[in-house]
Structure 1
């Protein structure tokens, strides 16, 4: 979930990593590779829309303690993060 999609004008996303929810402040995709076409839905829209995503991304963000983090993500988690970062950038699929 992206904060700006619920009325909070901040660059914050929360992502469920399967075993825990992770809050990421000021997320920024710094590398991406392996583009593919997919369709995504969004709670803000009815139905699904086509979009381009990347199999692997590298993300910079600040954690809950304001420490800068840089991590690689792949697969489904990478796709979710890309969707939420798009929201932070004003993009709704």
Structure 2
């Protein structure tokens, strides 16, 4: 089932999310719904706060990058098979040189900006069966994970922009929270009153 994606301005996007246990109700169904929602919106990742749940879970599928000629064949092969669920994730270390990449977000439709992030991360997390892993990623995959991880920490990519950029975007971001934006997927807007 495709769920509405929460738009910029909703308080859930600014909260630090809570850990969950394997007893979390209907978790397999929730994960399926999140993947379906992400694919329906042509996303590479989706975090639970983006569907209104303040829990430490996000998922990533980088397969859309698998046909992008900007990347080497080796990188494309890695992207093709990278599909994961991250539960109760904790980034243990971020290292390497900061590099810039143009990022967007399903909760902030129509806005993309250059964001600097470190190139390599080590992350501890549990999968959908609550098996624990500690893994190191770099490049694009590390970036996608960092973007989604920020969501469970209550951080948006716009928080990482310069104060000048934030001022320039202020009006557009306010419009998104009021539903004045174009998105070809279902959204829930914080400043749009519900019909009684």
TM-score between the two structures when normalised by the length of structure 1: 0.88
Aligned residues between the structures? 93
Q: Which residue is equivalent to 1:90?
A: 154
1:4 is displaced (CA, Å) by 0.9
Between 45-54 and 24-33, report the one with greater CA deviation.
45-54
Task: Give 4+ residue runs of structure 1 displaced > 6 Å after superposition.
Answer: none
SS in 2 for 1:8: coil
2: CA distance between counterparts of 1:51 and 1:42?
Answer: 12
CA contact (8 A) 2:49 2:55 kept: yes
Between 18-27 and 71-80, report the one with greater CA deviation.
18-27
Q: Which has the larger radius of gyration?
A: 2
1:92 is displaced (CA, Å) by 1.0
1:51 is displaced (CA, Å) by 2.3
- Structure 1: gaps of 5 or more residues: none
Q: Which residue is equivalent to 1:19?
A: 81
Give the root-mean-square deviation of aligned CA atoms: 1.5
- Structure 2: gaps of 5 or more residues: 1-45, 63-79, 158-196
Q: Which residue is equivalent to 2:134?
A: 70
Structure with the bigger percentage of helix: 2
Q: Does residue 124 of structure 2 align to residue 60 of structure 1? A: yes
TM-score between the two structures when normalised by the length of structure 2: 0.44
Between 12-21 and 83-92, report the one with greater CA deviation.
12-21
Q: Does residue 47 of structure 2 align to residue 2 of structure 1? A: yes
Which digits, 9 at most, give the CA deviation of each residue in 1:5-36, with x for residues without a partner?
11122110101153252111011111111222
